[in-house]
Structure 1
C-alpha cells in the first residue's frame, strides 16, 4: 500500500510508519500504539520530575498569589504562539473555572488583536506585553509568562516592567529555562527540562493548572478574602 505522496517527504522522518512505500495495517497500528505509549510515559516522567523538584515552590507561589488576589490583585498572563494559547487558557482557568469554583480576575494579554497590532506596527514586537503591563498593571497584580524556550525578548522585557511596578512575577519555561533563568526580575521560575516542545507544553499545562488549584485552596485560608470580594462587588 503506497503511503507517500508528492510534498509528503518532509514529514516522513516524523512518522515513518505512515509514509513508507509499503506498509501493513497491523504493523502501522502497532507502531502508533508504541509511539503513543512512549510519549505518555515521557510526559508522565516529566510531570513527576517537575513535582519532585518544584512541588514546594509551587505551593509557596500559590500562597503568594492568594495573598495578591486577597489584596485585590489580578493575574496577567502572556506568551507567544502556542504559549499565547496556553496563557489564554491559564487566564480562563482563573476567570471562568469549571465545576462552580470561585472566579478570579485574570486577563490574557494576547486577547486584544487591535492592541497587539497597534503596538507591533507603531513601536515593535518586543513591547507588546511590557506596554500593557506599564499601562494598567497595579502593584498587587501577578504577571505570569509562558515560553517553551525561555528566550522570548518580549517576555523578558515584560518581566522587567512588572518587577519595576511591584508585581509578583512567575515564569514557566522549557529546556534549561533559557534567558528567563538568568533574570533577576522573576520571583518564581518553573522549568520543564525537555527539548521536545510538545512535551514541554503538556507539562506546562499541568504546572499552571496546579497553580490554579493550589491558589484556590490557599484562598480558603486567607482571612478576609470573601468579605473583600463582597465589598468589591457591592
Structure 2
C-alpha cells in the first residue's frame, strides 16, 4: 500500500511537501499507464486489428456480443456492452479517419449484453448452483454459434470466466479474452480465439490498459463494418 500511496505514510506535517508528494505520485502513475498502453498496442496491434475484423464479420452475420467479468471487470464488461449498443457520435466510413472525422457515417448500434447486468439471474445462479457457473449458464441459455463472448479478468484465473469460455467454445462462439499478469488459466485454455494479456502485476494498470484494448476493438470493429458497407454500396 505504501508503494501505491507514499504520501499517506509521510511523517511530514508540511502541507506543501505532502501535496508535492501527491503530485509526484500522480505523475508517476500517469507515466506508467501511458507506457503500458503504448507497449500493449505496439505488441498486439496487429492481433487487435485481426480480432476486430473477426468481430465485424460476426456482427455482419447477425451475431450478438456477451461481455462478462467480476468486480471492476464487471464494470468494464458493462462498459463494453454500452459502447457497442450506443456508439454515440463515432464517425466511420470512407471519409472518416480513425479519430472520427466529420464527414463519415455515424457508427451503428450493435447487439451487446453484459452478463452481470441482471442481478436477479446472477444471484439465482450463484445461490442455487454456484458462482462459478453464473456466466456459463447464461451463455448456455442465450448464446448461439457465431455469437461473441468477451471476458475480462485481471488475473486470468477467475473460475467463472474459465467455465464461460469453455461453454462458449462448446457452442462455437467467437471468443475474446482480456487478462493481466501472465494470462493465468485463460492463457492455457484452448477455447479463447483472441487473448490479449496486459503484462503488469498492478490491478489498477491492468484494468486501465484493458480499457484501451476494448475501446480499440470497438472502434476498429465499427470501421470494419462501415468499410464492408461502403464496399457493398459501390459494388
Q: TM-score, normalised by structure 2?
A: 0.88
| Alignment of structure 1 residues 44-123 onto 2, 5 Å | 44-99=34-89, 100-123=106-129
- Give the superposition deviation at 1:98: 1.9
What is the distance in 2 between the residues matched to 1:61 and 1:23? Answer: 52
Aligned counterpart for 1:212 among listed residues 203, 209, 218: 218
**Contact 1:17 1:23 (8 Å CA) reproduced:** no
Tell me, what secondary structure is at the counterpart of 2:150?
strand
- Give the superposition deviation at 1:21: 4.2
| Alignment of structure 1 residues 51-200 onto 2, 5 Å | 51-99=41-89, 100-200=106-206
Tell me, what secondary structure is at the counterpart of 2:66?
strand
Distance 1:224 1:157, change over 3 A: farther
The equivalent of 2:13 in structure 1 is 23
Aligned length: 217
- Give the superposition deviation at 1:12: 5.9
Give a deviation string over 1:67-117, Cα, whole Å, max 9, x none.
Answer: 000000010000001100000001000001221531110000000011001
What is the distance in 2 between the residues matched to 1:28 and 1:222? Answer: 55
- Give the superposition deviation at 1:224: 9.1
The equivalent of 1:4 in structure 2 is none
Radius of gyration: which is bigger?
Answer: 1
Distance 1:68 1:225, change over 3 A: farther
Give ranges in structure 2 of 5+ residues lacking alignment.
Answer: 90-105
- Give the superposition deviation at 1:19: 4.3
**Contact 1:12 1:19 (8 Å CA) reproduced:** yes
What is the distance in 1 between the residues matched to 2:192 and 2:108? Answer: 27
What is the distance in 2 between the residues matched to 1:156 and 1:173? Answer: 12
**Contact 2:81 2:114 (8 Å CA) reproduced:** yes
Tell me, what secondary structure is at the counterpart of 1:144?
strand
Tell me, what secondary structure is at the counterpart of 2:192?
coil
Runs of 4+ that moved beyond 6 A: 224-227
Distance 1:103 1:226, change over 3 A: farther
What is the distance in 1 between the residues matched to 2:2 and 2:171? Answer: 49
Give ranges in structure 1 of 5+ residues lacking alignment.
Answer: 1-10, 228-234
The equivalent of 1:202 in structure 2 is 208
**Contact 1:70 1:225 (8 Å CA) reproduced:** no
Q: Cα RMSD (Å) of the superposition?
A: 1.8
- Give the superposition deviation at 1:226: 8.9
